[in-house]
Amino acid sequence: MKIGITCYPTYGGSGVVATELGKALAEKGHEVHFISYAFPHRLHHFVDNIYYHEVEISNYPLFEHSLYSLSLASKMLEVIEFEELDLLHVHYAIPHATSAYLAKQIVKKRNSNIKVITTLHGTDITLVGLEPSFLPLVKFSIEESDGVTAVSKFLKETTLTNYSIEKDIKVIYNFIDTALFKPTNHDKMRKKIAPNGEKILMHTSNFRVVKRVADTIKILKLVKNEIPAKLILVGDGPDRSECERLSRELNMQNDVIFLGKQDGLEEILPCGDLFLMPSQSESFGLAALEAMSCGLPVISSSVGGLPELNMHNKTGFIAEFGDIERMASYAVSLLGNEKKYNIFSENARSRAVENFDKNLIIPQYEEYYKKILAEK
């Protein structure tokens, strides 16, 4: 099968999932063509059966703003025709689904029957797509896709409700390579971060407002009243400066470690004891899944698709977003009880392996591809 994949090539969850999906499909013998404005950051090295096509953006003086949507549609058209793709799988509705629709209409005039599948990831539906200027376009692009998937039941129901769409949306959860993300012993890093045996809390995100990264620092402050602890923050974004200021204001600049953007998360996460995800909006929670696969129980908010991933009182705990006192209390109850902690740690790892391993999820995409391709 020849598959085109378009995604944002950044550190966000949609780009990570799309890239890992492409790599897994290539390993299974499919020919995968990435179409984007930059090389996906999760493609660390050459992978057989994977090809990259860069979207060239015009800098013509007449155009005050870049025409990425049109440039993307043009590149999609080129790859569809010259690489003879069977289907185009776009991740994140805006603007990828719209560009794919335009490319499909052009190739139809040339007797090509390309199929378009759109995967909805979260803020493309719950935030950006709901802006009045975008809503009709997003609704149209979803309805005109040959197939649509969502990364959680929550996101599926939100899409059907908010956009009044009557279309079958297939839920295919995000996945993880549990052979890569696994519990490992990193004593050297632990001793550097926590030289006196402090417990280590972890958080990874793009530091946007909806991630509520500042709440993790406030949680640490409360946890430290009961148990010596440190906090590792991985990532970067708009809220980082505010979080650095808050850590200094609370006199915890030596207890909050900012690592910035990192690629080797599978080496960093196992150093932690607990993972914090106090988000205000989260359609699935890929970062939490990565932590769970490494054996870290998760303390999360109850929003979006998180309850579909993090099982309350089993793989971690769930609280209302903003309730830092309860989250801190849950953290202390685990960190202060070794037997209970070990059970939760094993449960977190088992849930990742038994429900979200890539070898379970990738075949679901393959079957969906076959289904869509078989439809007239």
Residue 15 or residue 212, greater confidence: 212
Residue 281: alpha-carbon gap to chain centroid: 12
**What pLDDT score was predicted for residue 99?**
94
Return the domain boundaries, the chain: 2-175+357-374, 187-355
Residue 335 has pLDDT above 70, yes or no: yes
Contact 272, 259 (CB under 8 A): no
Q: Do you know the residue count of the chain?
A: 376
Q: What is the mean pLDDT of residues 5-34?
A: 90
pLDDT at res. 268: 93
Proportion of the chain above pLDDT 90, given as a percent:
73
Confidence of residue 11 (pLDDT cuts 50, 70, 90): low
Residue-wise pLDDT for 78-98, tens only, equals 999 999 999 999 998 888 999
Q: Is the pLDDT of residue 179 over 70?
A: yes
The predicted structure's pLDDT at residue 135: 85
Nearest residue to 262 via CA among 310, 204, 219: 204
Rounded Cα–Cα distance for residues 223 and 201 (Å): 10
Look at residue 63 in the predicted model and tell me its pLDDT: 64
Query: Minimum mean pLDDT among 23-32, 258-267, 283-292: which range?
Result: 258-267
Task: Tell me which residue has tokens 């995000």.
Answer: 174
Q: What percent of the chain has pLDDT over 70?
A: 97
Distance from C-alpha of 118 to C-alpha of 205, rounded to nearest angstrom: 24
At 147, is the secondary structure helix, strand, or coil?
Answer: strand
316: β partners? 298, 312
Residue 357 corresponds to which tokens in the numbers above? 């391993």
Report DSSP letters for 293-323, one per residue. Answer: HTT--EEEES-TTHHHHS-BTTTEEEE-TT-
Residue pLDDT, tens place only, 121-158: 887 777 665 677 778 888 899 999 999 999 999 999 99
Q: Which of 121-125, 170-174, 356-360 has the lowest mean pLDDT?
A: 121-125
Cis peptide before 183 (omega within 30 of 0): no
**Domain 187-355 part of CATH 3.40.50.1970:** no
Spatial strand order in the sheet of 31-36: 50-54, 31-36, 2-6, 87-91, 115-120, 147-150, 169-171
For residue 254, the model assigns a pLDDT of: 94
pLDDT of residue 113: 84
| Closest to 285 (Cα-Cα) out of 270, 303, 297 | 303
Residue 278 reports pLDDT greater than 80: yes
Q: Return the CATH fold of 2-175+357-374.
A: Rossmann fold (3.40.50)
Strand order across the 229-234 sheet: 256-260, 229-234, 199-204, 274-277, 298-301, 316-319
pLDDT at 57 over 90: no
With cut-offs at 50, 70 and 90, classify the pLDDT of residue 234. Answer: very high
Q: What is the mean pLDDT of residues 275-293?
A: 94
Query: Is it true that 2-175+357-374 and 187-355 share their CATH fold?
Result: yes
pLDDT at 65: 62
Question: What is the arithmetic mean of pLDDT over 329-342?
Answer: 96
> What average pLDDT score do residues 243-253 get?
95
